[in-house]
Amino acid sequence: MNKVWASLLRPKAWISAGLLITFLMSFFSLGFLDYLQPMKTFLDSDDLSFKIGTTRFSVYLLIKATVIVVLVFWITGILSEFGENRIKKIRGIKASNKALIVKAFQILIYFIAFIIGLDVLGIDLTTLAIFSGAIGIGIGFGLQKITSNFISGLILLFEKSVENDDLVELTDGTYGYIRHTSARYTLIETFEGKEIMIPNEDFITNRVTNWTYTNSKGRVAINIGVSYESDIEKAMELILEAAKEHPRCVDEPSPSCYLEEFADSSVNFILFFWLADVTEGRFEPRSDVLRSIWKKFKENNIVIPYPQRDLHIKNPEALQ
């Protein structure tokens, strides 16, 4: 239902233009043929009117206000979409700056439309002073989250801490690319193909990992265990060799391998190597290096152990 009302108040630009032309032609045709005057007189009569303070309201005024609001939204939609398309075509401006300019342009358009709408309706803003306090409190509580997300979106655009096509990871495990930042939410496309709309406030109040904030490099860590009978120095050499041979592994920082611990059934190493562009994925190079290590270990008799347990039977006669 909300989508239906939103599509009626702010349809696409070409739909708005068609509806506006149709309405104006119909209105002026009826006005020229003098069909509207009797209807106006009836709807504006005292029987169909009421007063709030010194301000008089009638059915005619309410219908007029509704029509003007819809027309203002249609015209604003046309101007907003036209300006947005023009701004996006400007070259030499980063995508984040274009988004910021678009938001500022939309705010300006809607503010001007609001003032013009009040002026056309003949509403004096001083008459709303009685209700301004209550309306302000109501709007403050009702739109608290919306306002917070809107301001957070502006902060994100100004700070440029997250931008389109950045690879980000949130504290709840959401992991993917920034595809779009709007006034209320930021759209993340995950590796599963899901599109998740995250409120802008979450990027301000929670911890966010941006894998591509200053550069696109990313580190891959691999844990490997070998048996105590294996040649430890040879194992480390083969592990580093497998990482360096991978085409996506960079020389700076160079791959490094460390002996991590002497565990219950294995000597554990940890391998670190860096990728030039983490946005191309980390799982594939990790898998390739692991398979390469497996082959090199088999060729050089390096054993990857598995947990073993000795079973001692205290009373073997009982089994017989």
**d(Cα 52, Cα 231) in Å, to the nearest integer?**
93
Contact in structure between 270 and 215 (CB atoms under 8 Å): no
CATH of 218-299 among 3.40.50.10190, 1.20.1250.20, 3.40.50.1000, 3.30.70.100: 3.30.70.100
What are the boundaries of each domain within the chain?
Answer: 2-142, 161-210, 218-299
Pairing between strand 267-275 and 256-262?
A: antiparallel
| Centroid of chain to Cα 73 | 26
Q: Give CA–CA dist 218/230, Å, rounded.
A: 31
Name residue 272's beta-bridge partners: 221, 256
What's the rounded Cα separation, in Å, for the pair 7 and 175?
32
Task: Output the pLDDT for position 245.
Answer: 92
Q: Alpha-carbon distance 72 to 64, whole Å? A: 12
Residues with Cβ within 8 Å of 264's Cβ and at least 6 positions away in sequence, in order, are 307
Verify cis geometry, omega within 30 degrees of 0, for the bond prior to 253.
yes
Residue in 284, 306, 302 with CA at minimum distance from that of residue 236: 302
pLDDT, mean over the chain:
76
Q: CA quadruple 153, 158, 164, 169: dihedral positive or negative? A: negative
Instruction: Tell which residue, 115, 182, 114, has the closest CA to residue 146.
Output: 182
Q: Give the architecture-level CATH label for domain 161-210.
A: Roll (2.30)
Residues 6+ apart with CB under 8 A from 19: 11, 74
Interatomic CA distance for residues 242 and 98, integer angstroms: 45
Token pair, residue 9, equals 């108040």
Would you call 200 exposed, middle or buried from its count of C-beta atoms within 10 A (0-12, 13-18, 19+)? buried
Beta pairing, strands 55-58 & 49-52? antiparallel
Give the neighbor-by-neighbor strand order of the sheet with 256-262.
218-226, 267-275, 256-262
Check if 161-210 and 218-299 are the same fold.
Answer: no
Q: What are 206-237's pLDDT values in tens digits?
A: 888 888 888 888 889 999 999 988 899 999 99
* pTM, 2 dp: 0.52
pLDDT tens digit sequence for 143-200: 677 778 778 877 887 777 888 888 888 988 888 888 887 777 888 998 888 889 988 8
Residue carrying the six token digits 């931008």: 163
Higher pLDDT, 209 or 28: 209
- 82-90 own/partner pairs: CB under 8 Å, 24+ apart: 82/13, 83/109
> Cα separations (Å) of 235 from 112, 253, 292, 297, 306?
72, 21, 13, 7, 17
d(CA 259, CA 269): 4
Q: What is the tens place of the pLDDT at every residue in 37-95? A: 666 666 666 666 666 656 666 666 777 777 777 777 767 777 777 777 777 777 766 66
